[in-house]
A = this chain, B = another copy of it.
Amino acid sequence: MVSNKFFAIVAGIGPATGRSIALRFGEAYPVVLLSRRPESYQDVVAQINKTGGRAIGISTDVTDEASLAAALETIKKEFAGLQLAAAIYNVRPNLRGSRKPFLELTLDDLDKSLNGNVRGLFIFAQTVVPLLLQSVDSSPLPPTFILTGATASMRGSKLWSVIAAGKSGGRILTQSLAREFGPAGVHVAHAIIDGGIDEPDAAHAASNDATPDGKLSPYAIAESYWSLHTQHKSAWTQEIDLRPFNEKF
């Protein structure tokens, strides 16, 4: 049974992690899926609604204050009376073209990374943290904010300069939020996804059957996010790394 008092928001829905997180949190809460394009969330929204959950998708550019403000209005209307229990920032700006020699990069490559990895996170956090704070006293599980990070959040490898600049900026910003809002009762965590992700995610139910291999199961990531959300207030994790059993590190 999904909650009729609390809901969750997942920003950044792609073919793998975002959708698995929505499915996992959707087992407990009505969920809002934010993504630029409807194609990114339509089928998973339908899947959740079909299987006893409750989900809405909203086409949103989280790096745009007005767009996110409009999404918030929709949420307040659709989920009137519900309080926010969890917010996950899983936005992955398209930076495939940015993994190249430094002198071949343009300022636009950097800006894309900063925009999606830091600015969007900032805007999203400013939008949802006040809602999470309001849930501190009522939510059975501590209100939780999670940022999806990556190896590049921790180190600047060769050819990863602009990606790493953005990811590390987001990580450290989240650390500041943890130090500010933890004592106020909001659990802020950062997950370092260290390895390739096995996408597309097969259906939720099927994930447990997946043969263990060298790519992160998106469902396994989602399960760890859910574990973070269920942690007791006296023993919170601020940073977790997740990698396949055979990943070199």
What is the interface of chain A, defined by CB distance below 8 A to chain B?
A: 65, 101-103, 105, 107, 110-111, 114, 118-119, 122-123, 125-126, 129-130, 142, 152, 155-162, 164-183, 185, 187, 198, 210, 212-217, 219-221, 223-224, 227, 231-249
Contacts and interface: CB of A to CB of B under 8 A. Distances in A.
Chain A to chain B: the 3 pairs with minimum beta-carbon distance, closest first:
A156-B175, A220-B232, A156-B176
A118 B126 contact: no
* Stoichiometry, copies per complex: 4
A236 B244 contact: yes
A164 B241 CA distance: 21
Contact of A130 (B103, B107, B169): B103
A76 B219 CA distance: 37
B130 A156 contact: no
A20 to B, nearest CB: 11
Contact of A242 (B65, B103, B235, B243): B235
Contacts of A118: 110, 114, 165, 169
A12 to B, nearest CB: 18
A140 B125 CA distance: 39
A175 B176 CA distance: 22
A181 B177 CA distance: 33
Given A123-B107, A175-B156, A187 B234 contact: no
A122 B110 contact: yes
A223 B213 CA distance: 26
A121 to B, nearest CB: 9
B126 A102 contact: yes
A154 to B, nearest CB: 8
Contacts of A215: 234
Contact of A122 (B107, B168, B220): B107
